[in-house]
Structure 1
Amino acid sequence: MGIVFRETLAGVELEQLSGGFFDGWPNPPSASTFLKMLEQSYAIELAVDEQTGNVVGFIQAISDGILSAYIPLLEVLPDYKAQGIGSALVQRMLERLQGLYMIDLLCDPEVQTFYERQAMQKATGMCIRHYSNQAGYIDSRQRN
């Protein structure tokens, strides 16, 4: 399986994103919401299966572009795990963000060792999760 990496959505169609991301989420975003989320990110990295053209992994960052960035999501489809794709996506993103002072993410304890292998350090964080908005929040002011 040949994997190519892309840092833009150029040439990626909606149907190439609907391959089973957000596995286990009780209220996952639709493919169109997923696309919009990627479009509005500060930076993205995509892993694409050369044979099928489907996106099989992604990482996104949101940032002020000056001082800080936050990496909210990294996902690799189950059939493509354990091939180094997640590590490559993280390294590509960290390289793109290296000029910033801080790059943060929150993750579950069971994946902390993965991020430690990517040269990240454990830290303490706080969060709020509105699971009812997990499919994507549309601000009524943005609907017009």
Structure 2
Amino acid sequence: MQTWLMKSEPEEASIDDLQRLGRLPWVGVRNYQARNFMRDAFQLGDRVLFYHSSCAQPGIAGIARVASGAYADPTQFDPSNPYFDPKSKPEAPRWLLVDVAFERKTTLLPLSEMRLQPELATMALLQRGSRLSITPVSDSEWAFLAQRLT
């Protein structure tokens, strides 16, 4: 089993939304590397650190799991959707998504606190210029974080 960190703006999809609904499609990924992680590396049951981004207090807000294989993100075909991609065609979709399922909500572990931890110094999220919405989390990073996610 692998662990992934997936970023979501809480106004679009929060850990509370996921808890209420139980399962959500992870729409709107428009980065090829993040898409390739979903398509090529995600496995059913992989752990997900649900990260709130672009908000007053960014940080890990909960734990989810990968609940489906990758499939076409329908928002790419909808001209009224902000994630519309006119170059993507239903017969050859450019953008994919996976469903994530709720596991548990945690006390928010803020980005500012994560930056202070030497055990997380190499974590992809904390690297200068890192903007990917999906990043892998190493086993040692997961072990360290799991002790702090209450």
TM-score (norm 1): 0.27
Q: TM-score, normalised by structure 2?
A: 0.26
Structure with the bigger percentage of strand: 2
Higher RCO (CA < 8 A, seq sep 6+): 2
More helix per residue: 1 or 2? 1
